[in-house]
Homo-oligomer: A and B are copies of this chain.
Amino acid sequence: MTYCVAMRLESGMVFLADSRTNAGVDHIATFRKMFTFVQPGQRAIVLMSAGNLATTQSVISLLRTRANSDLPNLMNCASLYDAAELVGRTVREVVTRDAGQEQTGVDFGCTFILGGQIQGEEMRLFHIYSEGNFIESTQDTPYFQIGELKYGKPIIDRVISFQSSVDQAIKCSLISMDSTIRSNLSVGLPLDLLSYERDAFNAGSRYDIDENHPGYKALREGWSQGLKGTFETLPEIVW
C-alpha cells in the first residue's frame, strides 16, 4: 500500500509520500511515488501515486516521454485543470490497455494527487481517481490523501485549515505519516517531502527523510511525548 497527503494552503503547498510498495508480504520494495514537472518561472507540477504499481509507473513513463513531444503534455498545458484531465486520460489509456478484456481479478486501478501552479493561475490541487475523473481542493477542504489514509486523517482534521502555515502543514503531514507507519506495516520510510511557496514557480524545497533524519526524529519524539503527557494529565471522568 501507500500513504500520500497534499495540502493547499493560503501561503503554499505541501506534498508528502512514503515509499513502500507491496504485493503481499513477500514482495515489499521501495519505490518513490512523488514526481515533479518543473519549468522555472513558468510552472511547478507535483504528482503522487497510489495503487497498482505497474499502472502508475506506466502512467508516469508516458507522461514523462510525452513531456518532450509536441503532444499535449504536462510541460505545455495551459492550466492545472488541463494537467489533471491529461493525467486522467493517461490513467484510462493504461488501464484499458493492461486490463484488456480479461477478468483476472487483478485490480489495475490507481489514484493520483496532482498539485502545483502554472503562470496565470493560483495554486491548485486535484485528486484523480482510477476512472480518470477528478475533484479539486477548495478552501473548505484544503487537503487530499491517497492510499492508507484513515490512520493519519484525525490529526489533519483537528489542526489544519486553509489558513495554516506551510510550516504547520509540514509538521502535521509528518505526524500523520508517523501515525500511519506505526499502525500499518504497508506504509514505510524513506519519505519524500516537498514544500512549495505560493508564486515561486520553482521546484520547491525537497527533503528525503529516513529514520535517522534528526529533524523527523525530534518531531516524532516531541509528538509522542506530548501525546503521552496530554493523555496522563486528562481530567478524571465525572460519571
Using a CB–CB cutoff of 8 Å, the interface residues on chain A facing chain B are: 148, 150-155, 157-159, 167-168, 170-172, 174-175, 179-180, 182-184, 205, 207, 214-216, 218-219, 222-224, 226-231, 233-239
- CB-CB under 8 A from A150, the residues of chain B are 148, 150-151, 183-184
List residues of chain B with CB within 8 A of the CB of A170.
237
Of B153, B215, B237, which contacts A215 at CB under 8 A?
B237
Report B-chain residues with C-beta under 8 Å of the C-beta of A227.
Answer: 155, 158-159, 227, 230
Asked if B226 and A233 make an inter-chain contact with CB atoms under 8 angstroms apart, the answer reads yes
Complexed CA–CA distance, A80 and B224 (Å): 36
- Which 10 A/B pairs are nearest by Cβ-Cβ distance? A226-B230, A150-B150, A154-B179, A215-B237, A215-B238, A153-B183, A222-B234, A154-B183, A150-B151, A218-B235
Contact A223 B234 (CB under 8 A): yes
Contact of A219 with B237 in the complex, beta carbons under 8 Å = yes
